[in-house]
């Protein structure tokens, strides 16, 4: 819904995901993402848990952070924050997919391997 957001990006070459449900509910940082190389990023949310994958591997789960649903007047932006269009991603983004279900670990790995 309109009070929930997931922000994902790079800050000073560190990959991050932040979850906001009216207050910051969880965040994850990882310096394994290197500038100048492709990184497959995937995340799924189900039953209150957000699972984050890098290059097909589950790197962390954040519990109690997925609330609400993607409906109503929800706005989505890829490449910048919802409230700061001048804070844009510098780089290339390819093969964006949004599903109407939470993918399994096996499905994420298949996508990473190009098998789907």
Tokens 């989505």 — which residue?
A: 76
Digit-coded pLDDT (tens) for 56-94: 999 888 776 655 555 555 566 777 766 666 677 778 888
Mean pLDDT for the stretch of residues 21-43: 75
Whole-structure pTM value: 0.77
C-alpha to C-alpha distance for 26 and 31, rounded to whole angstroms: 17
Strand partners, 2: none
What 14-23 contacts at long range (C-beta under 8 Å, 24+ apart), as own/partner pairs, is 15/39, 15/41, 15/54, 17/43, 17/50, 17/52, 17/62, 19/50, 19/62, 19/65, 19/66, 21/65, 21/67, 21/68
Mean pLDDT for the stretch of residues 38-51: 85
pLDDT of residue 75: 64
C-alpha to C-alpha distance for 22 and 41, rounded to whole angstroms: 25
């Amino acid at each position: 819904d309109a009070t929930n957001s997931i922000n994902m990006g790079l800050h000073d070459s560190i990959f991050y995901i932040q979850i906001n449900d009216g207050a910051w509910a969880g965040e994850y940082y990882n310096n394994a993402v290197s500038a100048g190389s492709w990184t497959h990023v995937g995340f799924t949310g189900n039953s209150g848990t957000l699972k984050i994958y890098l290059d097909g591997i589950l790197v962390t789960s954040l519990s109690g952070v997925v609330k609400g649903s993607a409906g109503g007047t929800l706005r989505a932006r890829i490449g910048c924050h919802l409230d700061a269009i001048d804070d844009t991603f510098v780089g290339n983004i390819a093969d964006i997919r949004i599903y109407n279900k939470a993918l399994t670990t096996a499905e994420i790995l298949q996508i990473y391997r190009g098998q789907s």
